[in-house]
């Protein structure tokens, strides 16, 4: 078994080494092959240099660079398209979903095509909550997602998701959105093509250094959300 872990990164100089250390320490004693793909999204700080320093010490790290900032969706898609694993997992650079959750994803993916982390279903544990205004806006967004695009999911925006290689290589080439609403588009495409999706409770914490800006990014996400059904057919 071969696992690919895709981590999009934008201006993550301060934590990318810690993240990679955590991931590689976790993977070190596993009995499967792995690759860790860092996709730098046009960072303006020392993210690439820090990642390259880590890659020089540890095998299995691959670094991809976008020439300019293209968005999380674009970066995840690029990493997934270059991934070689039997199962492809993407997660955030802050590891807000701890890497130890990977074991649970691997257990569930055996009977599903796609497994998505959820902070909103029974069994989920949030150790550090978002500010109240972000939680309220997030719930409103998820409600709109269920009404407009993909009914049945309680949390489409958790940053941890796993795909079988077959599902990933089918769905990601069809992805059009480059920013934060891409998660919803992926689930819309999964439903459109009949893939089995499992929503799984995860441990999660809020990082105050999140790259999602509530108002400007939230407005763009709503616009993108409205596009999905038109892009891929009503």
Which are the contacts of 26, defined by CB distance < 8 A and separation ≥ 6? 99, 100, 102
Instruction: Provide the whole-model pTM.
Output: 0.92
> Yes or no: is domain 2-232 CATH 3.40.50.2000?
no
CA atoms within 13 A on the CB side of 20: 29
Number of other CB atoms surrounding residue 31 within 10 Å: 5
Name the token pair of 15. Answer: 């934590």
Dihedral in degrees, nearest 10, Cα atoms 40, 43, 49, 54: -40
User: Is residue 164's pLDDT more than 80?
Assistant: yes
Q: What is the pLDDT of residue 179?
A: 87
The mean pLDDT of the chain is 91
> DSSP state, 1?
-
Which are the contacts of 215, defined by CB distance < 8 A and separation ≥ 6? none
Model confidence over 87-142: pLDDT tens digits? 999 999 999 999 999 999 999 999 999 999 999 999 999 988 777 777 777 777 87
What is the residue extent of each domain of the chain?
2-232
Chain-centroid distance of CA 109 in Å reads: 16
């Amino acid at each position: 078994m071969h696992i690919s872990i895709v981590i999009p990164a934008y201006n993550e100089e301060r934590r990318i080494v810690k993240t990679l250390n955590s991931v590689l320490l976790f993977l070190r004693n596993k009995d499967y092959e792995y690759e860790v793909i860092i996709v730098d999204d046009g960072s303006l700080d020392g993210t690439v240099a820090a990642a390259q320093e880590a890659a020089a010490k540890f095998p299995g790290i691959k670094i991809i660079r976008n020439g300019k900032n293209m968005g999380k969706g674009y970066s995840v898609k690029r990493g997934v398209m270059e991934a070689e694993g039997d199962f492809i997992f993407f997660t955030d650079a802050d590891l807000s979903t701890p890497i130890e959750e990977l074991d649970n994803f691997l257990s569930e993916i055996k009977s599903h095509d796609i497994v998505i982390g959820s902070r909103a279903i029974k069994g989920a544990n949030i150790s550090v909550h978002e500010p109240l205004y972000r939680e309220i806006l997030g719930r409103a967004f998820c409600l709109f997602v269920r009404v407009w695009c993909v009914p049945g999911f309680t949390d489409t925006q958790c940053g941890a998701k796993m795909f079988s290689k077959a599902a990933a290589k089918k769905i990601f080439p069809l992805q059009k959105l480059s920013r934060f609403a891409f998660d919803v588009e992926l689930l819309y495409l999964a439903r459109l093509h009949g893939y089995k999706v499992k929503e799984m409770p995860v441990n999660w914490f809020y990082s105050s250094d999140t790259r999602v800006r509530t108002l400007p990014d939230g407005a763009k996400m709503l616009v993108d959300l409205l596009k999905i059904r038109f892009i891929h057919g009503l």
